[in-house]
Amino acid sequence: MKKKSTVFRILGSMFLLLFSICIFPIKASADIGAKPSIYIKLVNAPENCYVALLDDWNNEDAPYNTELRDFDPEKETIDEYLENFSYERWTYFASFWVNNYYKPNEKNEVTFDYDVPDPFRILVIDEAGPVQVSEVFDRREFNASITYDYAANTITEHYVGKSLSRIAQVLGYYLLTLVFEWIVFLLFKLPRNKRNIISFLVVNAITNIPYNIFKVYFLSRAGWPGLFIAGFLEIIIMIFEAIVYSFALVTDKGEPGPRCFFYGIVANIFSVFMGIVLVIPFYMIVDFIHETFLH
């Protein structure tokens, strides 16, 4: 009895921690959404060049030039050239506070982030003067990774690996949820019979697989607002699972009982807590390694 009381006190502390995170105000910025990005790998590009993106949004008043004017380094700067650039009413996509054009790094890579146009065109300016504009391209990914072949003037987006990564994330989240909630299942000393195990697996599949698909494919783009949406959905799932478990699971007496309902509540709280403690830092480390060493 004392051991069970200790377990409930620990789980109760976790619940209070999560509750406190939800109710106490935090300092937030108005600009809290996830930001799209475009990573460009240049192939066959000039050795010394600048890369910028073009946008056609709200450019009705821009001159419709069908000929590209070369850059003249003796008469103008890159900023001056871009400020007056117009090609088929596509103009330079400028950021509000920084120059949104870059020289490729030693690996011929350029990354545009925070805000990017869609659709877009790539503008490559050779320091010697020649200028080239790509065809119009609609990116498929929120954080797009593309290769631009300067010689062929073609853009190729790479998303197969990302699709496989998302599938792996959905399955990984589901399996971790099973592990965390199974730990609580054992702590509640519910019978490990066929009925309970099937109910445990089916209920988690019904709730967690669709939720994780939504989380990975959509909420991952929402930034901090996505966390609030995720928290709301977690509460809905917790209530749903607790109600279903209250008649789907059985205790050692062979019939459903209040312990089955409370198991659904505690199991979900524990799963969310472990997700915060373990999973989020893990993915932060993975993203850091990817961006720093593998990108």
Express each pLDDT in 114-135 by its tens digit: 778 888 999 999 998 999 999 9
pLDDT for position 227: 72
Considering only CA atoms, which of 48, 30, 133 is closest in space to residue 86?
133
Last residue of a domain, one of 134, 158, 182: 158
Express each pLDDT in 207-226 by its tens digit: 999 998 888 777 766 555 67
Express each pLDDT in 79-107 by its tens digit: 899 988 988 889 898 876 667 888 999 89
- Per the structure block, which two tokens stand in for 45? 């590009």
Last residue of a domain, one of 103, 136, 158: 158
What is the strand order of the sheet 37-43 is part of? 109-112, 37-43, 143-149, 154-157
Q: Is the model's pLDDT at 50 over the cut of 80?
A: yes
Q: Is the model's pLDDT at 22 over the cut of 70?
A: no
Q: 117 and 96 in one domain?
A: yes
- Per the structure block, which two tokens stand in for 211? 């939720």
Q: 186 and 168 in one domain?
A: yes
Q: 201 and 153 in one domain?
A: no
- Per the structure block, which two tokens stand in for 56? 């056609």
Q: Which residues form the domain of 180?
A: 2-30+162-294
* 139 compared with 9, residue with greater pLDDT: 139
Q: Quick one: what percent of the chain has pLDDT higher than 90? A: 39
* 293 compared with 280, residue with greater pLDDT: 280
Q: 139 and 114 in one domain?
A: yes
Q: 178 and 80 in one domain?
A: no
pLDDT for position 10: 53
Considering 19-23, 33-37, 45-49, the range whose residues carry the highest mean pLDDT is 45-49
What is the number of domains present in the chain?
2
Query: Average of pLDDT values for 131-156?
Result: 90
Considering only CA atoms, which of 251, 272, 274 is closest in space to residue 262?
251
| pTM, entire model | 0.57
* 120 compared with 37, residue with greater pLDDT: 120
Q: How would you classify the pairing of strands 37-43 and 121-126?
A: unpaired
Q: 214 and 169 in one domain?
A: yes
For every residue of 14-36, DSSP letters joined together read: HHHHHHHHHHS-----S--S---
Residue whose pair of structure tokens reads 């702590």 in the numeric block: 187
Q: 226 and 148 in one domain?
A: no
pLDDT for position 113: 82
Question: Can you tell me whether residue 254 is helix, strand or coil?
Answer: coil
Q: Is the model's pLDDT at 4 over the cut of 90?
A: no
| pLDDT bracket for residue 68 (50, 70, 90) | confident
pLDDT for position 286: 56
Q: State CA 109 to chain mean position distance.
A: 22
| pLDDT bracket for residue 33 (50, 70, 90) | low
Torsion of CA 74, 77, 82, 87, to 10 degrees: 0
Last residue of a domain, one of 113, 143, 158: 158
